Structure 1
Amino acid sequence: MALPPKPWPTGLCEELEPLVRRVLAPNASPYTFTGTQSYLIGTEQGLTVLDPGPNDPQHLAALEQAIGSAKVTAIACTHTHRDHSPAAAPLAQLTGAPVIGCGAVIIKSDEPRADAPFDLDYTPDHVLEDGECLAGPGWTLTAIATPGHTSNHLCFALNESGALFTGDHVMGWSTSVVAPPDGDMADYLASLDRLYQRDDRIYYPAHGPAITKPKQLVRGMIGHRRQRERQIMRLLEQDSHELAQMVTLMYKGLNEGLIPAASQSVKAHLLDLEQRGLVARSGDIWSAI
């Protein structure tokens, strides 16, 4: 999806529905669309700030202004990529609210800087389990474990309105990147299927517009991943390939800056197919079985 024309509502507090407001961070990029969207959920008497975003003074000032005199009872994160959780600590210091949400990620891997996209300073006061709730006057947020994009990813359902905050698991502008070793394609597809079984009214993602036809989009995303899987199998049934060769053949005309993300997703598919006994590798060469 192409970027919408400027001006974007960066730093502005937008009311989306009675219990939900949104503030866009100034961190637009090829991976974040127009930026990370932080959500303020609740009322003056009790408010959760979801995905506070990057530790950026301009964004923190915008969040402080949007909070105003409201009582912040929790700061929650869907996951700990650097565009989502670094503002949690300074916002907690500012408001006195605890950081409650996803757990921290610890990556055990021989890959160089496998933890680079993550906020390694993230320290939650309480980690929400699947199905556990945050609540305030007139609202309840239920945590839904949705691993795949990251192992610690949570979505949050606003029970009173039928809204689901989907973080990066389902976005309004692009499919998610699934980057091993922490990202896992089998988990990602299982999490998509879990959301497909739900009846949420609307999705509010961390990037891109609200999703008003959730089931239709999720069904399309599952279909897209299965299509990629079939594409990989066709290539490997014709000949063995290195990962880089496969990406070149599969993503013709792709923006050069997005090639690393495409490579990670293809690798995630290959690892899933390997686990299922459909492909094998010898060194850097992948082959169909």
Structure 2
Amino acid sequence: MIPYVREIDVEYGRCDQVSPLIRRVTADNPGPFTFKGTGTYIVGQGEVAVIDPGPDDPAHLEAILAATAGERITHIVITHHHSDHSPLAGPLKARTGATIYGCAVASHAEDDADGEVKMEAGHDLGFRPDVSLCGGGSVAGPGWTLEAVPTPGHTSNHLCFAFPEENACFSGDHIMGWSTTVITPPDGDLSDYLESLEAIRARSFDVLWPTHGPPIRDVDAFIRAYAAHRQERLDQILTALAAGPARIRELVPRLYADVDPRLHPAAARSMLAGMLHLVRQGRLAADAAPEPDTTYRLAG
């Protein structure tokens, strides 16, 4: 079982000092993909970095500026291009002159078709950082350093940011205490995700600061449980296909029988990520390119 952590005291627009060098201001955008809202982090003192400014919300912009009154925002740092993370970067830059850092996505997957249950927030199609950190790199200010750690999986351009001064990591949507992370092909990739999980676990951080929800302090155990959950889902697919070839639309009602049928389209997208991973591993074979209507069977 994943040891979820969901307790967090949120007052929208309030600036909370959550560690000696980290403050958080939460945007008023709670929902099924954002939990209590986007937690925008302010790192440092005097000359500061803002991580994931969030949705294009004028009230949240003013809250960030109020929280940094008398200081200078020099860096705007983005974990990925979803609409609850990056859109406010432009307006915040216009007000402060700060430089935007992140990784532009190479291409944008289409949003879910009308009528389907969406699995994640929409894409910020216009996101383009001033400085690319796709291959890693560090930014710094007085008393603080942020190291970009490429963590593709949730999206192809996802970055976590190590914060060595507190042996912490800003984990964006890569690892969240309140929920598992959505992986939706084609931009999401389970094979990449599992490798990225291990990359973060290997760093032995003391604490993770997700963009949504409270911090994760038992980091190693949490990441191990996160990875075990993904493996359990893969094992379910393999067990189901041991009974014979099947398509995703046939498997979802069986493997997600306890889930509201309205969520089955979302479950199918998640299962597709698992199928792609298992085909790459050589554990499954498919009668065509892996897609929702492809027939899958055990390999060998």
Q: Normalising by structure 1, report the TM-score.
A: 0.92
1:50 maps to 51
Give the secondary structure class of the aligned counterpart of 1:89. Answer: helix
> 1:162-177 to 2 correspondence within 5 Å?
162-177=167-182
Q: Relative CO higher for 1 or 2, CA cutoff 8 Å, sep ≥ 6?
A: 2
Q: In the alignment, is residue 83 of structure 1 matched against residue 84 of structure 2? A: yes
Q: 1:162 to 1:252 in 2, by over 3 A?
A: same
1:218 is matched with which residue: 220, 223, 236?
A: 223
Specify every segment of 5 or more residues in structure 1 that has no aligned partner in the other structure, as ranges: none
Which residue in the other structure is 1:195 paired with?
200
State the Cα distance separating 1:257 from its structure 2 match: 5.8
**CA positional deviation for 1:107:** 3.4
Please state how far the C-alpha of 1:240 moved relative to its aligned partner. 2.5
Give a deviation string over 1:75-111, Cα, whole Å, max 9, x none: 11000011110111111101110111222341378x9
Quickly say closer, same or farther: Cα 1:228–1:130, change in 2 above 3 A: same
Contact 1:42 1:137 in 2 (8 A): yes
Please point out which of 267, 276, 285 is paired with 1:271: 276
Residue 39 of structure 1 aligns to which amino acid in structure 2?
Y
The 3 A distance-change label for structure 1 pair 121 and 231 is same
Could you list the structure 1 runs, at least 4 aligned residues long, displaced by more than 4 angstroms after superposition.
1-5, 111-116, 255-258
Match of 2:158 among 145, 153, 157: 153
Q: How many residues align?
A: 287
1:21 equivalent in structure 2? 23
Change in 2 beyond 3 A, CA 1:176/1:108 = closer
Deviation at 1:26, TM superposition (A): 1.2
Q: Give the structure 1 partner of residue 240 of structure 2.
A: 235
CA pair 215-61 structure 1, distance change in 2 beyond 3 A: same
CA-based RMSD: 2.5
Displacement, 1:195?
1.1
> CA 1:128/1:9 → structure 2, altered by over 3 Å: closer, same or farther?
same
Distance 1:72 1:199, change over 3 A: same
- How far apart are the structure 2 equivalents of 1:73 and 1:175? 32
Work out the CA distance in 2 between the residues paired with 1:66 and 1:255: 41
Tell me what 1:144 maps to. 149
- Percent identical across equivalent pairs? 42
Query: Are 1:205 and 2:215 counterparts?
Result: no
The CA deviation at 1:173 is 0.6
**1:59 has 2:60 as partner:** yes
Q: Give the distance between the partners of 2:103 and 2:171, measured in 1 at CA.
A: 13
